[in-house]
């Protein structure tokens, strides 16, 4: 109870500045905490995360608690059921503090596309906290929650983790259920854990992962031993790949500097560094921004103003088609409209093969490049993002510049592999966090934690943990 009360007090003290949360479920959190204390008093068995507070991205349905997906389209909607991830958190006695801010329908790289206003980066409140899961990452970095849940369609867990100095993991596609997670791009979306340490992320990963018959894309295989890997981190004898396509023009000097230091550290810890050439990765951004909008245009067709959520113009003077049009005009923001239009065009008659079909062929080539790479190495490392956090508003009028924030993360989503971002220091030119990305083959998520834990321990010994020791006060 005291832990929950302390975090609720922290939220009350700082979230007006940060705006990490869209809804704080104070009464629900306190009730969950009391239930955990009662179990403990009765001597009942508790899980490793029992009573630990958590911030939940506002894309997962939560019974009795508003779920808006950062959009006016679902403002005030209270789901009648829990997502599988929500169910598993509750079953593990995790205390859900509330729902975090995000880019509308998870479409964005900065949390500026939220219909409820942007979130600030606790390192510098004038900077973005990443996106689409900036609320979850900011909640961690501002110490409003020790754990959080995000979703990753093109980097929306890893990119926020990188720019806020936290740990974020995109599990293998299908390893964490998507049931009850509002869909953006169904073949890419993946929920995952966010935390301040690799071990904390592993403990949360183990809670939410596993087969779910309610999700047709769920993998019916045992969850990899991620906690054991995080507790026994080592890279001794491992082959670590460095892809030449993940550096060059557009990369900030301080990001490359910290990445090169991380590679040198891996070698020092006993890893063999292998240079890799994955030519199809250069096409990943283009392929992603055809596949994701195409799937989004299909998924968001259900928001028609007739079944649930916002309804505009239903005054008896408009047809059903006009009500749908008026509702979508009022309910969707500019980025969502942009992607729906792009996706609808790419799927239209005469253009399907030229655009969507070609993008899917590129996706196959990217997967083949990963397959070839993983014949030579155990994991791949790269910068998580080309730059540190940029200023709020800096890229608002330049969608292409915004999309480039996901340059390093998108190939993994297209292939379905597992990936992690963890802090690897601060860029010297702006003193903002830099993320190291680790990529593992499908269902080898434990390798992320084995490498991540070893690197994290070495960072702490050499330079100190960049978040815990140097995070700014609010």
Q: Cα torsion at 374, 376, 380, 386 (round to 10°)?
A: -110
Which tokens go with 112? 């500026």
| Active-site position among 71, 114, 136, 156 | 156
CA distances from 413 to 170, 213, 275, 281, 467 (A): 9, 22, 22, 12, 27
Q: Phi/psi of residue 167, each to 5°?
A: -110, 130
Which candidate, 172, 161, 181, places its Cα nearest to that of 56?
A: 181
Considering the candidates 71, 132, 142, 421, report the single residue annotated as catalytic.
132
156: annotated active-site residue: yes
Nearest to 24 by CA among 135, 170, 108, 129: 135
Q: Cα-flanking dihedrals φ and ψ of residue 104, to 5°?
A: -55, 125
25, two tokens: 């479920």
Q: Which residues pair with 135 in a beta bridge?
A: none
For tokens 């992607």, the residue is 339
Q: What's the 3-state SS for 176-201?
A: ECCCCECCCCCCCCCEEEEECCHHHH
Buried b (16+ CB within 10 A) or exposed e, 19-46: bbbbbbbeebbeebbeebeeeeeeeeee
244 is catalytic: no
Instruction: For residue 317, give every residue at least 6 positions away whose Cβ sits within 8 Å of its Cβ, in sequence order, or none.
Output: none
Spatial separation of the C-alpha atoms in residues 202 and 451, rounded to whole Å: 12
Among this protein's residues, is 132 annotated catalytic?
yes
Q: Which helix (H) or strand (E) holds 28?
A: helix 26-41
As a whole number of angstroms, the distance between CA 327 and CA 274 comes to 53
Q: Is the peptide bond before 132 cis (omega within 30 degrees of 0)?
A: yes
- List the helix and strand counts (H, then E) for the chain: 16, 11
Q: One of 57, 127, 444, 450 is an active-site residue; which one?
A: 57
Count of CB atoms within 10 A of residue 435's CB?
Answer: 33
Tell me the catalytic residues: 57, 132, 156
């Amino acid at each position: 109870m005291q832990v929950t009360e302390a975090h609720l007090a922290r939220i009350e003290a700082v979230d007006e500045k940060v705006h990490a949360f869209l809804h704080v479920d104070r009464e629900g959190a306190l009730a969950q905490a009391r239930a955990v204390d009662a179990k403990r008093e009765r001597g009942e068995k508790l899980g490793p995360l029992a009573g630990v507070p958590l911030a939940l991205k506002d894309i997962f349905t939560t019974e009795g608690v508003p779920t808006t997906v950062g959009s006016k389209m679902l403002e005030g909607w209270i789901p009648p059921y829990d997502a599988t991830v929500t169910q598993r958190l509750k079953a593990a006695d995790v205390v859900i503090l509330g729902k975090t801010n995000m880019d509308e329908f998870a479409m964005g790289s900065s949390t500026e596309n939220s219909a409820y206003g942007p979130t600030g980066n606790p390192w510098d409140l004038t900077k973005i906290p990443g996106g689409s899961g900036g609320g979850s990452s900011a909640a961690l970095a501002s110490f409003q929650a020790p754990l959080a849940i995000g979703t990753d369609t093109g980097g929306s867990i890893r990119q926020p983790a990188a720019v806020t100095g936290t740990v974020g993991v995109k599990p293998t596609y299908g390893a964490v259920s998507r049931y009850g997670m509002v869909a953006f791009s169904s073949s890419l979306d993946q929920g995952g854990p966010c935390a301040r340490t690799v071990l904390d992320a592993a403990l949360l990963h183990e809670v939410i992962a596993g087969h779910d018959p309610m999700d047709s894309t769920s993998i019916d295989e045992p969850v990899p031993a991620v906690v054991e890997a995080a507790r026994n981190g080592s890279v001794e004898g491992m082959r670590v790949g460095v892809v030449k396509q993940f550096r060059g023009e557009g990369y900030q000097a301080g990001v490359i500097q910290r990445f090169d230091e991380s590679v040198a550290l891996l070698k020092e810890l006993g890893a063999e560094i292998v240079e890799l050439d994955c030519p199809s990765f250069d096409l990943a951004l283009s392929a992603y921004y055809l596949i994701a909008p195409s799937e989004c245009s299909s998924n968001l067709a259900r928001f028609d103003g007739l079944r649930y959520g916002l309804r505009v113009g239903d005054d008896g003077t408009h047809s059903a088609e006009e009500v749908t049009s008026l509702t979508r005009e009022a309910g969707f923001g500019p980025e969502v409209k942009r992607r729906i239009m792009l996706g609808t065009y790419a799927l239209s008659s005469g253009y399907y093969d030229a655009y969507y079909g070609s993008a899917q062929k590129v996706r196959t080539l990217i997967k083949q490049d990963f397959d070839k790479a993983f014949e030579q190495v155990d994991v791949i490392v790269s910068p998580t993002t080309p730059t540190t956090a940029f200023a709020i508003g800096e890229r608002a009028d330049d969608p292409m510049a915004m999309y480039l924030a996901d340059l390093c993360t998108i190939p993994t989503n297209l292939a379905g592999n597992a990936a992690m971002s963890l802090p690897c220091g601060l860029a010297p030119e702006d003193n903002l966090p830099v993320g190291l990305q680790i990529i593992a083959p499908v269902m080898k998520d434990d390798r992320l934690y084995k490498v991540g834990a070893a690197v994290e321990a070495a960072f702490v010994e050499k330079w100190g943990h960049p978040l815990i020791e140097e995070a700014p006060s609010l």
